[in-house]
Chains A and B, each alone.
Chain A
Amino acid sequence: MIYLDQAATSWPKPPEVLKAMTDVLENAGGNPGRSGHRLSIAAARIIYDTREEISRFFGVSDPLRVIFTGNATHAINLALKGILKPGDHVITSSMEHNAVMRPLRNLEKRGIRLSIVQCASNGTLDAKDIGGMVASDTRLVVMAHASNVVGTLLPVAEVAAIVHQAGALLLVDVAQTAGIIPMDMTAMGIDLLAFTGHKELQGPPGIGGLVIADHIDIAQIDPLICGGTGSRSESEEQPDDLPDKFESGTANLAGIAGLGAGLRWLKDRGIEEICAHLKTLSRMLIDGLSAFPEVKIYGTLDLARSIAVVSFTVAGRHVSEIGFRLDEEYGVLSRVGLHCAPAAHKTIGSFPEGTVRLAPGVFTTTDDIRLAIRAIGRVIRS
């Protein structure tokens, strides 16, 4: 089997991740922050240490500014719904995942003005186009770091400069890039960063987070969910302390432990090396597919401007048939259709049919790619 659906979720997970998850449930099973006994403290330490690793990973100095959530979707909802008020203006790109689009459409019904900046058909965004949309009531700009459909990178640092000039905030969805591109929130000018644990960060599903830059005043962010935190228990009001203000309810201890192990594993492997490996695989995929005249590949096809996510269609053929036959006949697992990103498919011109998406990961080998290309050749020629 050749798993080329790493953009949906990474698989397999490093054995260290599975071990950390079973270890924590076996040996540190208390409710973190709720009691003072050793099992509760052991659990709280694992959570704190993971917070610290994440803060270092993304370049914020205070670990308490890492807010754990269930996934990127939850983190994006927390940021958007916590900050935007009726009358506010928000800007996003036309390459967004529904994790961004749907909460924005939902907010639009509640009196928030939404502008969507049109990206080029290869998925690129011209930062100046954001500049043209910024108005005095613009509160926030939200965008992906890279498209989950074509892998095109968006110009985060350039957009940040424009956004900050206008006194607005920048929220970046790094679901597709965290773990494969070294990232420093401060250098990139990101105010709020939403990540998910189960993709290239190598963690399990069900854990993600919102990282709030050191300079952001948290008074401007309302909690999405209120409830028990183990702190200030005498009060019926939600506490203002970080991270408790945004983290009600018992934490996903096993998920956090697994994510911590994933981050340590990534550090050992080296993100730069992973990045180089993925570029090699991406090059092979693009070159291999380009050899078939009936195949159309979407995106920039430029490795300096994209991550290893390759989308294609085949003239006269349904993407679902291609995906099904690759799986059934050759054990090559892809993802076909709209990839939860209808706006992105409209932008690249593949709506409503969608594309076949191939996304290799850190465990994918060059042999895997050779076999996958051969399989694709056979499927499209028969």
Chain B
Amino acid sequence: MTLHGVILFHTTSSVLRAEKRLIKEGFATRLVPTPRQFSSDCGIALRFDWNDHERITSMLGEEKVEFDAIHFLDANPV
């Protein structure tokens, strides 16, 4: 079973900008409604494979992609 993480953002534009960069780097991502246990400013979040989480975190940092927070998603469906 794939474990997932989510990245939260302040604005829809910044989610879409980050999504494009991650796809370009070959990461598997998906836009999802923000899981309800996390409060977020914007209704959509970016879900990714938790195995990639370190690489994604450093890539977002290096490329100065602004985001709000990164969370691990437990197995409970959201």
Genuine A/B complex: yes
Complex: how many Å from CA A48 to CA B12?
Answer: 9
Q: Which of A74-82, A202-210, A230-238, A345-353 contacts B (4 or more CB under 8 A)?
A: A230-238
Q: Are B11 and A33 in touch, CB under 8 angstroms?
A: yes
Q: What 1/0 mask marks residues of chain B from 37 to 61 whose CB sits below 8 Å from any chain A CB?
A: 0010111100000000000000000
Q: Most chain-B CB neighbours within 10 Å: which of A37, A48, A52, A63? A: A48
Complex: how many Å from CA A232 to CA B9?
Answer: 10
User: How many of chain B's residues touch chain A, expressed as a range?
Assistant: 10 to 19
Residues in B whose Cβ lies below 8 Å from that of A234: 39, 41
Q: Most chain-A CB neighbours within 10 Å: which of B13, B17, B31? A: B13
Residues in B whose Cβ lies below 8 Å from that of A37: 33
Q: Are A36 and B11 in touch, CB under 8 angstroms?
A: no
Quote the shortest CB–CB distance from A212 to chain B (angstroms): 14
**B interface majority secondary structure:** mixed
Residues in A whose Cβ lies below 8 Å from that of B13: 33, 44, 47-48, 51, 63-64, 242-244
Q: What 1/0 mask marks residues of chain A from 174 to 199 whose CB sits below 8 Å from any chain B CB?
A: 00000000000000000000000000
> Could you tell me how many residues of chain A have their Cβ less than 8 Å away from some Cβ of chain B?
27
17 contacts between A and B (CB under 8 A): A35-B43, A36-B43, A36-B44, A41-B44, A45-B16, A47-B13, A48-B17, A230-B43, A231-B41, A232-B41, A233-B41, A234-B41, A239-B11, A241-B11, A241-B14, A242-B13, A244-B13
Q: Which residues of B contact A (CB under 8 A)?
A: 10-14, 16-17, 20, 31-34, 39, 41-44, 66
